[in-house]
Amino acid sequence: MREQQLLELAERLFIEGGYGGFSVEDLCREAGVSRPIVYDHFGSRDGLYLACLRRVREEFENTLIDAARDAPDLETAIRQGADAFFTIIERDPRRWSLVYGGPSELVGSLADQIYELRTQTIDRISAITIRFAPHADREAVTAHAHAVSGAGEQIGRWWLHNPEIPRERIVDHFCTFARRTFLQLAAAGPTAAAGSVPVL
């Protein structure tokens, strides 16, 4: 329970001050605990940051995957997943920005671990795609999943600066791109190579 309380407080402080503006001392003061308690749970500020990202990403991913899981076809899965993704942004843009708009200057082990979190999301997108495109080249599926995930993030950032655009239109814009990208994988035959996927 204490760990979850610390994560909730840390998440709020990371959202308010960013990675660079966060300090363990501020967290200890807000939570009424000592530094050793925080370090016992998370090891370091970086460990705390990663724990916050994992927690939020897992919530977001589960929402996305659940939305697409029972879709009868790939096109429906794309739209239902997209609607869930952009609903998350609309409902809690600052929390979404913590996960998808993190500091680009991070390097080293922390950057590598954040990349691993992103690839876990890609793996889940790929798994859904393979369900509807079982004969598609696996390398192509992964590449397309990276492209579509990146497009979703970038459209999300653009939408945050243009909130007057209705969510339904944002979903349409994303689906126009993702549909063409993924449906060509679904059209690939069992012997199709990564470079020979037909364009619809």
Domain 55-189 is of which CATH architecture? Orthogonal Bundle (1.10)
Digit-coded pLDDT (tens) for 1-42: 688 889 999 999 999 888 888 989 999 998 899 999 999 989
Q: pTM of the full predicted structure?
A: 0.81
Reported as a single tens digit per residue, the pLDDT across 118-143 is 898 899 889 988 888 888 899 999 99
Per-residue H/E/C for the chain: CHHHHHHHHHHHHHHHHCCCCCCHHHHHHHHCCCHHHHHHHHCCHHHHHHHHHHHHHHHHHHHHHHHHHCCCCHHHHHHHHHHHHHHHHHHCHHHHHHHHCCCCCCCHHHHHHHHHHHHHHHHHHHHHHHHHCCCCCHHHHHHHHHHHHHHHHHHHHHHHHCCCCCHHHHHHHHHHHHHHHHHHHHCCCCCCCHHHCCCC
Locate the domains of the chain by residue range. 55-189
